[in-house]
Structure formats: C-alpha cells, structure tokens
C-alpha cells in the first residue's frame, strides 16, 4: 500500500492536460486551488497506515490474499459493506470534505458483477479482463475516478437521437487493437487526483444506443483526455495570503469536465462493448453502492455540528434552550443519515459473481435522506452561527495596522476566546455551508449519485406495495384477493 508521500509523488509523474481559468495548469499537484483536494485523497493513504484506522481502511484481497487499501477492495461480506460505511463517515469527519475515492471503489464493485453477468449470457471474457485490471489497481494502490455522468444534451432525447452525438460518450471507430471514443464526462470529483479513469454508461440503453453502451478504464493521462476544472464558491481565497478566510485550512475537493477527443482504448481495458441490455444494470448497481457511500456526509456533518457547538460557546449562547434543541436536531438528522447507510450494508446480499451488493431499496432511501437532511443541518448551523458568518471582514483587515484593532475589539465574543479563533470557526461553518466545501456537502448531497427523482424512481420499483396491501386487508377482515 502506498503512503501519502508516495501517492503525491505518483501524481507528479503523470502528464495530465488540465485547464483552469482558461489557462493550462503546468503543476497540478502544487496548484494552490487544487492542492487541498489532493491532500484529502492523501488522507485515505495516510490513515491506512495508522493502527487505529487499519481495520476500517484496509482489507484482504480476494484475488491475491494481500493486505490492500479498502478503496481497491471488492466486498466479500456484509461486514465489508458495513466497514465501508464506517470508513466513509470516518474520513468525512477527518477531512471535512469529499475525499474523492468512493466513486472508483463503487465503479469497480459494480463492474465485478456486471462483467460476470455479461459473460454468463454472451460467453465474453469481460470479467477475466476486469479481474486482471483490478489486480493491477490493488498492486499499485491506485486512485480510480469513476466516470458515469455524460453532458446529456437534450434530456428528452436518447443518445442516438441527439443533435450532437458527442453529448454521450460513444465509439467512433473500431480497430483491430481496440476502439476510439469521443465525448465527455461531467462533474468528475477528484478527476485530476486520480491515476485511472473508469468509464461507465450513464443511463439504461436501447439497442439503437449500443455504440454508447461502453465501459473501459484508461490511465488518467492518456492521449486525448483534457480536464477543465470547475469553479467553486470562494475558491480564489486559496490564492490569498493567510489561512483564516479559507475555513478549512487543510483539505478540499474539486470537480472537472473530462473531455475525450478521439481517445484510443485497447481491448484489454474494455469491460462492456455494445451490450446495451446490461447498461441499466451497471448504472443501478453502481448507483446503489454510491448512494451507500454518502455516509461521508454524516462525517462532514460531525465537523459542522462540532463547529456549531463551538461557535455557540464562543458567542456565549450555548446555554440557551433553543440553541441546545437545534443542536440536538442536527445530531438526530446526522445520525439518521448514518443509519440508512449502515442498514443497506447490513441487509446486503451475495451476487452470482461472489460480490456483495447493498440492499438497493435501503441504499436509495439513504440517499433520498441525504438530498434533504444536510440542508437542514446547514440551516441550523447558520442560524446558530449568526449573520457575522457572511459579514465578517477579511483576514487582511484583521491584520491591518490601521483597522485591525477595531476588528479584534468589536468582533470579540466570549472574553476568554481570542477574536481570531472566533473568526476561524465562523469561516469553517461558511466553508461547509456556503464555500468550497458546500459543493461536497450540499450540492453533491442533492445531485451526486443521481438526482433526488432517480432515487424516488428506484424506491417505487423496489417497494412491494401489493404485499403491504395484502397485510392491511388481512388485518381489517377483507378476505377477497384482488390479485
């Protein structure tokens, strides 16, 4: 397993084509805006070597029997699934942001099942290819960026009817040694911190869409791949001197548009090729795993609740009954998020491939809660923090020879607390609820792993309403069976 330092060094060896603010980024690792997100991924390596976290963040490979990072593991039991949930919460609490490795882990687990099932129907060798790839990932302890979301273009049209066929990533040429693809993947969390990128279809497909029903993996710096970094609120604060206004001074996240401009993919890296009838299965299995992964929001919630309790004390408001009750409510909502993830893991089952899959109904219930509860937790945090969170002057004003003395004087709360400490805590709450971390805590809670409606559709499919009607009828004495 790599150390954090070895991970950083491995990124320096990549030749990524990255653009930010219209200019090419020559040094991705040390770029001040991108660097905090790299630090968050590095934490997944660092913690794997710490005795107190070893049980959660490491596992035993079912291929080689070696000790590996859990982010490269294929779940072999419900215990593995539960440990994944606890790992996600732990790392969310340690970083206060998205640590970016879940999506690759979830993609590999989904592919371990879908490739097995395709082979069973069509006699292909995708699973053999995938397992060889998986061993490569485990042996080198790689970060994989799972890429599912296409730009989609006109949402009312399937891929093959789009005015621009590149709105969904697709095959444009077949060669003796592989294929050539064109298109893009959007909203890619941790893209430029990854060694590999794993492509999956984004929706269920029809036969007419078979050129879009593809899954493969490539090195993140393969020829023809370009990354365009997304903006985040308050992101340029990382370019300023000082650290107070950043909020989270250690970690962060990032997203990118990943463009595939006629990119070559060798056959041994392809795990689905025009098997359109399995696209929906891969999407649903990946989505179920990734909806479980949102236990990370409970971890970030831990940080936000801790910050809120602290700012209440710094403000001298911690004894107010309504403040106490609001913090109780924040904890209630946060633990409910965690319960959903634990439940879908504990109720998981073994698939034909040998991989354990979460309970898909409960995974979707978990994520549906995630689309709502973090917003209420954030609202309560802002309520308790007060308006100063968004009207606070800058760190430059705080250190100014001319006006710094007034900032220190008039933004004092509890007299035993330094004004700087109060400012830092307010900025952390701002960071999580409005700033760069809000991408990972709020908007990602809404749209990550599928929009809220996607989970509602899955819940409607998974719930057995007929059985619920049957038990209700029996209890009230209706004996006629309408079925």
**pLDDT one-digit tens code per residue, 394-439:** 999 999 999 999 999 999 999 999 999 999 999 999 999 999 888 8
DSSP-H helix ranges across 49-205 = 54-57, 78-95, 102-122, 126-140
- Of the residues 294, 371, 433, 441, only one is catalytic, namely 294
Please report the pLDDT score of residue 482 as a whole number: 59
- Of the residues 47, 102, 344, 366, only one is catalytic, namely 102
CA atoms within 13 A on the CB side of 239: 3
- Of the residues 254, 290, 310, 436, only one is catalytic, namely 290
DSSP-H helix ranges across 388-443 = 388-391, 395-398, 404-410, 419-433, 436-438
pTM of the model: 0.96
- Of the residues 88, 296, 344, 366, only one is catalytic, namely 296
Are 111 and 51 spatial neighbours (Cβ–Cβ below 8 Å)?
Answer: no
Q: What is the DSSP letter of 230?
A: P
- Of the residues 8, 196, 255, 395, only one is catalytic, namely 255
- Helix, strand or coil for residue 60? strand
d(CA 203, CA 229): 24
What is the CB neighbour count within 10 angstroms for residue 483? Answer: 5
294 included as an active-site residue: yes
- Residues 442, 446, 448, 449: is their CA dihedral positive or negative? positive
72 included as an active-site residue: no
52 included as an active-site residue: no
290 included as an active-site residue: yes
Please report the pLDDT score of residue 480 as a whole number: 81
d(CA 264, CA 180): 4
Q: Nearest CA to 169 among 188, 156, 189?
A: 188
Structure token digits, residue 265: 């993919």
Rounded (5°) CA angle 404-410-413: 120
Please report the pLDDT score of residue 483 as a whole number: 53
Please report the pLDDT score of residue 438 as a whole number: 84
**Secondary structure element (H or E) that encloses residue 261, with its range:** strand 256-266
d(CA 455, CA 435): 27
Regions of the chain with pLDDT less than 50: none
Please report the pLDDT score of residue 113 as a whole number: 98
Q: Over the stretch 291-348, which tens digit does the pLDDT of each residue have?
A: 999 999 999 999 999 999 999 999 999 999 999 999 999 999 999 999 999 999 999 9
- Of the residues 189, 202, 310, 436, only one is catalytic, namely 189
- Of the residues 46, 275, 430, 444, only one is catalytic, namely 444
Q: What is the DSSP letter of 439?
A: I
Domains of the chain by start residue, with CATH: 4-276 (2.40.110.10), 291-474 (1.20.140.10)
What is the CB neighbour count within 10 angstroms for residue 163? Answer: 8
Q: Nearest CA to 452 among 291, 306, 276?
A: 291
CA atoms within 13 A on the CB side of 119: 16
160 included as an active-site residue: no
98 included as an active-site residue: yes
């Amino acid at each position: 397993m790599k150390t954090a330092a070895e991970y950083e060094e491995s990124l320096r060896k990549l030749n990524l084509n990255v653009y930010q603010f219209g200019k090419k980024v020559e040094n991705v690792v040390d770029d001040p805006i991108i660097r905090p997100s790299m630090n968050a991924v590095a934490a997944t390596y660092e913690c794997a070597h710490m005795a107190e976290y070893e049980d959660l963040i490491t596992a035993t490979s079912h291929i080689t029997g070696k000790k590996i990072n859990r982010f490269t593991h294929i779940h072999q039991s419900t215990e593995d699934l539960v440990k994944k949930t606890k790992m996600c919460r732990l790392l969310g609490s340690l970083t206060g942001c998205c640590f970016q490795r879940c999506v690759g882990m979830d993609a590999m687990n989904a592919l371990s099942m879908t490739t097995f099932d395709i082979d069973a129907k069509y006699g292909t060798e995708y699973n053999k290819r995938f397992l060889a790839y998986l061993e490569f990932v485990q042996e080198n302890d790689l970060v994989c960026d799972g890429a599912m979301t296409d730009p989609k273009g006109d949402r009312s049209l399937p891929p093959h009817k789009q005015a621009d066929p590149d709105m969904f990533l697709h095959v444009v040429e077949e060669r003796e040694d592989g294929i050539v693809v064109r298109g893009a993947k959007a909203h890619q969390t941790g893209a430029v911190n990854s060694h590999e990128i794993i492509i999956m279809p984004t929706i269920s497909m029809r036969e007419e869409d078979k050129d879009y029903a593809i899954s493969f993996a490539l090195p993140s710096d393969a020829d023809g791949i370009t990354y365009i970094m997304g903006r985040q609120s308050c992101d340029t604060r990382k370019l300023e001197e000082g650290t107070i206004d950043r909020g989270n001074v250690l970690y962060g996240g990032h997203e990118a548009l990943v463009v595939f401009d006629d990119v070559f993919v060798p056959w041994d890296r392809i795990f689905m090729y025009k098997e359109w009838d399995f696209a929906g299965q891969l999407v649903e299995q990946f989505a179920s795993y990734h909806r479980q992964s949102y236990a990370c929001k409970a971890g970030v919630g831990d940080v936000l609740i801790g910050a809120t309790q602290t700012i209440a004390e710094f403000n001298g408001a911690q004894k107010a009954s309504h403040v106490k009750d609001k913090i109780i409510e924040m904890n209630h909502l946060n633990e409910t998020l965690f319960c959903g993830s634990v439940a879908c893991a504990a109720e998981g089952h073994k698939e034909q491939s040998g991989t354990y899959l979460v309970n898909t109904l409960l995974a979707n219930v978990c994520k549906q809660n995630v689309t709502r509860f973090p917003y209420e937790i954030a609202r309560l945090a802002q309520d308790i923090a007060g308006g100063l969170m968004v009207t606070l002057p800058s760190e430059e004003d705080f250190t100014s020879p001319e006006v710094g003395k007034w900032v220190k004087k008039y933004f004092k709360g509890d007299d035993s607390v330094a004004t700087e400490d109060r400012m830092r805590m307010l900025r952390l709450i701002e960071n999580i609820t409005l700033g760069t971390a809000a991408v990972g805590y709020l908007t990602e809670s809404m749209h990550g792993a599928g929009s809220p409606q996607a989970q509602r559709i899955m819940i409607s499919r998974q719930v057995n309403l007929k059985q619920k009607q049957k038990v209700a009828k029996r209890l009230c004495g209706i004996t006629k069976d309408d079925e």
